[in-house]
Structure 1
Amino acid sequence: MNRIALTGLALAVVMAAGGAGYWAGHRGLPVPGPREWRGGEGTRAAGAPAATGAVIYYQDPDGKPLYSAEPRQTEDGRAYRAVRASQDISFDEPATAQAAKANGERKLLYYRNPMGLPDTSLVPKKDSMGMDYLPIYAGGDDDGNSVKVSPSKLQRTGVRSEPAERRVLSRPVRASGTIQLDERRITVVATRSDAFIDHVENVTTGDQVRKGQPLLRFYSPEIAAASAQYLSSLGVQGARQRLENLNVPAEVIAEIERSRKVTTSIVWAAPRDGVVIERNVVDGMKAAPGDVLFRLADVSTVWALVDVTERDLPMIAVGQTVTVHARGFIGRSFTGQVAVIYPQVNRQTRTTRVRVELANPEGILRPDMYVDAEIATGSQAPAITVPMSAVIDSGTRQVVIIDKGEGRFEPRPVKLGQRNADFVEVRDGVAEGDQVVIAANFLIDAESNLKAALQGLTAAGNAK
């Protein structure tokens, strides 16, 4: 961008920020109107100081934001207005005004380019547009690291600051999945010998049963033979062991010992509390060894199997708190913890399955029910944080603006860590309690670039 374009851009920024009134107040000049600009260099308003200095650019005679480096005319034949050095707009005080403020105790360091370019000089000079280079003093407001903004400009731009604080950052990772039974809480009822079913209790699929509740009654020739052998040799460990190997309940063996009779009908009870999820037995049928007669499931604890994307997987850890929302129960949530992160990635969906254990005392979470999960990731240790709006991210570096008070601001590079929707952790560059700009910070950053306040630009200028 050439100098004329930069000056035009500066003019556009000032007009947008404060309008013509800001121009007049900042430069001490009258506000020109379209009728005052007529041909050539135009005519001055009554009482306005005469323009001095070289012509640095030409502007549309009606005051429109149209500029030219050379003389030109509008479409209707009117000449552009010549703008001289004394009429040009500047974000800084003139060099003479700054020098008037200096006293014998202030040491002049160097002069810098008035347009914020990385160009400095040890002696006074002008740029190609005739603008004076700006003096930089040791211990002054413009120390190369900070920029000072007038109170009126702060008020117009709406700059706001707030302190960096320690917070616990928790960024929820969202995933969807289904409810499944806890594999460790499923029990199968089966015999280890041939059995003839005499009677099945009034228990059907979906019924809730209690441990010890009768399920069926059957006759087994092999169990009857083992019972007779046991009675003929009471006290012999081998005979009792055979009954136990046939999975005869302890209470049945105790009844054989008490009654001294061979049992021909055995009552089989539920081995645990749970819900009947499968029934494969009816009266009069013959069951072979190992046949599943009943399948019971304890649903007081269930699993939520959710699929987490590869991008979010590094943030997931066992033990993290998970909030689960069942789509069938709007407005209600269930809390659990990450129990297992499965070791494989699905090739098609590029997701990894995560198991969440949930308490289900009411039994309302049912297998294959769809759920949405929010996994609370991040450390529980408080970290120094700033609002997301405080960070200016160029893609290669991140900067925050530190409010040093009295209109002085310092751009400061930072290293960022974890973040959530509102705040981001600052691992280096900001201390707890530092005031950071959270609104209109990009305008201050632009001002700091215009004033060459960043250390890198200052160092480059000194090297010259």
Structure 2
Amino acid sequence: MKKKIIIIVGLAVIVIAAGLYFIINSNSEETTAASEKQLYTCGMHPDVISEEPGDCPICGMKLVPMKNTSSKSSGEKKILYWRAPMDPNEIYDKPGKSKMGMDLVPVYDDEADGSGIVSIDPVVVQNMNVKTAVVEKKALSSEVITNGILTTNEKTEYIVTTRVNGWVENLYINYTGQPVAKGQKLMDIYSPELVAAQQELITALNYQKAVNNTSFKDVQESGDELLKYSVRKLQLLELSESDIEKIKSTKEIKTYVTLYSQNSGTVLEKNVLDGQKIMAGMPLLKIANLSSLWLTADVYEYELSKIKEGAKTEIRFNYLPGKIYAGKVSFIYPTLDSKTRTAKIRIDIPNSKGELKPSMFANVIIKGKDLGVYPVIPENAVLRGGRRDIVIIALGEGKFKPQEVTLGGYSDGYYQVLEGLTEGSKIVTSAQFLIDSESNLRAAVSQFKVGDKSIEHEKKDAAKNNQVKPNEDAAGVANKKASNKADETKDDSNSNHETTSTLIRTGVIDLKAIDKNKDGKVYQDFMDWNVISDEPGRCQVCNMILQEITLEEAKNNLIKHGFKVK
């Protein structure tokens, strides 16, 4: 009897143990399956997450499988802090709203990475069309290639004019472009004023001769003074010394004055005709020596550091293909053109054979300073910021790391890297902004994949805000949020009186013109800074809530991020 009882009890224990093992093993498999459930996300909108494949409700892109980054620990994960989805530097110690009006997302202890490395699913990386390049160490070209225009040498230009009123008696210059030699006659001018001045000289000579025999010293001195002033008057009227001496000796009045060429050159302008009445100070001819010309070229301000006075140049003209003229930079003009952001430089070019003509177009290569050998990167690899420059380093296997760099010179689409990178590093040259977006929104992905407790907490908050029903699952919550986001965008675009084209400001932004109600405030997007409205609403680019700020704050934000403000 006792043996039967022992056997029955033993069988009962075995059955109970087997049942417990089956239940525990079943729960473990369900837990493992639940934790390893495949989720799908959008490469452009990482906050859109679904348990099934499909299309993104915001942009329509195909959802891609997500890499499972759930914690290996079965216990509840610890939240370190809360941060804004679009700005990882905006950190809070409790949940709430970001400056952009978005819900803060938690960062857990197993997600914090002090090194700043970002891990992205390889499928997402492929959809982003991420391209990379290897950092090379080389010397950038110091040459500056630009265009220029030939002009006359201002040092050889002069204007022919007269100091008396009169008429052109004889004109010896017949056409524009006529060559003239130094001392050559240009024209004869008849001037009643000049005739009167000559008569005064003859009168002064006669008076001096008459008073020379007087015994009164004062009278003799007056004769000398009168002659002196008469000669000085003719000199001021540009009568030559030889003509004045001739009048003294012959006492004959010259009815006209002859103008002579001061230097050899070419007549560039002819503003007078034979027999024409002229006025004192009137420009009659413009003459310049074309044996030496100036070439003025435009150089962008970021290239000015490469050149200096005395730099050698190579100049080519379409007029003479194959021929290279050598020159030197003789002057760098001290001001910039406010519209083109260029400075003018001057190059002296000899033209003794007369082959070159003013206003000819030239291609110029300026031999600049030596920039040295440094690591160089393509300009499209740099994320330019107001205070710092960032590149994304590709570490392999879907891992990326932002790196601050100090940039040096620029040439032909490449920047020198003075600090921050070494030769051989692999950097991202496209889709950097998408990688940045992926890294900023990782916390939102992790929040979606927490345990049942976190999901239930989310459901309660959503039900309280009349956004979801309590019986909706996690995928439904995410999909409905995305749907509501799209609906809000549609509603805002219908209710907003301003169109996309007027919200996105370009060129020089006039904040006072945007402030139509004159309250001194506008609404600005803190991601797309040039999206500004006078009414509340959402950004037409990223759908963020526009934030109300003062005109001065909006102005400072625009200037800080490189926009021009009126």
TM-score class normalised by the smaller sequence: 0.3 to 0.5
Q: Please, what TM-score do these two structures have when normalized by structure 1?
A: 0.46
Q: Please, what TM-score do these two structures have when normalized by structure 2?
A: 0.38
Structure with the bigger percentage of strand: 1
